[in-house]
Chain A
Amino acid sequence: MSVGSPGSKVAFAPDDDVAIQYMQRTRDYYQALGFAPYRWAHFTDAPFTPLAMPLARARVALITTAAPFQPEAGDQGPRAPYNASAKFYQVYSAPVDSKPDLRISHVGYDRANTVPEDLDAYFPLCRLQEAVAAGRIGGLTPRFHGAPTNRSHRVTVETDAPELLRRCREDGADAAVLVPT
């Protein structure tokens, strides 16, 4: 429904149709459950490196937070409850020409509104391969990489991010597409 000020012909979108405030909701949730508040990473600036070549010649790396299916780690199906046993704590890599079976039962995606039955909705490897075939991008790196969803910023900054950089360099990546789940 669209609404506007009384007597006006201008129709605005409803005021609640905005980006969900995930940090505030999570803070409220943690507080209600009696947990200490979580502090999200925060910077007021960001680094910037322009792409040094046409995208049609660039080799692109794909980085995901999805986890490889682990047969021993319990329910990882699309309707699984949050499954901490399916988490991983080290950067992993796998060939892009494989058919990876990646799941997201180990993270807090929106279980009230979505059922993750389509890998392509959270891991755009097929769409990237199509972009390569169409000549839109030069190619993909031989491997994609998995980034742990670690709650420790220290581990992310000191261990995981440098490891991702090392692997991207090893693969000759000119750019990276990162897709959190």
Chain B
Amino acid sequence: MGLAARHLEANGIPTVIMGCAKDIVEHCGVPRFVWSDFPLGNSAGRPFDVASQTQTLDLALRLLEAAPAARTTVASPLRWAPDAAWKHRYLDVGKLSPEEIAERRKEFDVVKAVAKAKREGA
């Protein structure tokens, strides 16, 4: 998505990205970015919380209007949970047993084969 935003922007269309993966988006380097410190999959606000979604979109619109320069990130003030416990649950490889790792590896190989077949058929 970062690459697409860069391409649009370089060709005269101002862009703003709404996302959760702060490091990945900033590593790419994008014109404007609203970062929600939420689990991946909630780039536009909290599920079933219209006020949260409206607030998140408003930050994006205000960035479009007022970002002073490229690579402007605004951090949404919204919190997913009172503490950071959820942040330790995402893809924590240290908590996996060797058997679980072997199982994930097998699943991943299947997923890659499926994606390859689909891509080549597309």
Contact = CB atoms under 8 A, between A and B. Distances in A.
Interface of A: 1, 14, 16-26, 28-29, 32-35, 40-52, 55, 58, 61, 63, 65, 81-82, 84-85, 87-90, 104, 108-110, 112-118, 120-124, 126-128, 130-131, 136-137, 147, 153, 156-157, 160-162, 164-165, 168-169, 173-181
Nearest to B42: A121
Interface string B82-117: 011011111111101000010011011001101100
A118 B14 contact: no
A156 B2 CA distance: 10
Contacts of A160: 4
Interface of B: 1-25, 27-31, 35, 37-50, 53-54, 56-58, 60-61, 64-65, 67, 69-71, 80, 83-84, 86-94, 96, 101, 104-105, 107-108, 111-112, 114-115, 118-119, 122
Given A50-B14, A112-B89, A164-B8, 11 more contacts: A19-B37, A29-B91, A55-B65, A85-B114, A87-B118, A109-B40, A113-B90, A118-B47, A121-B41, A121-B46, A127-B45
A137 B61 CA distance: 8
Contacts, number: 256
B61 A16 contact: no
B28 to A, nearest CB: 5
Given A65-B1, A179-B44, A23 B27 contact: yes
B64 A51 contact: yes
Nearest to B89: A112
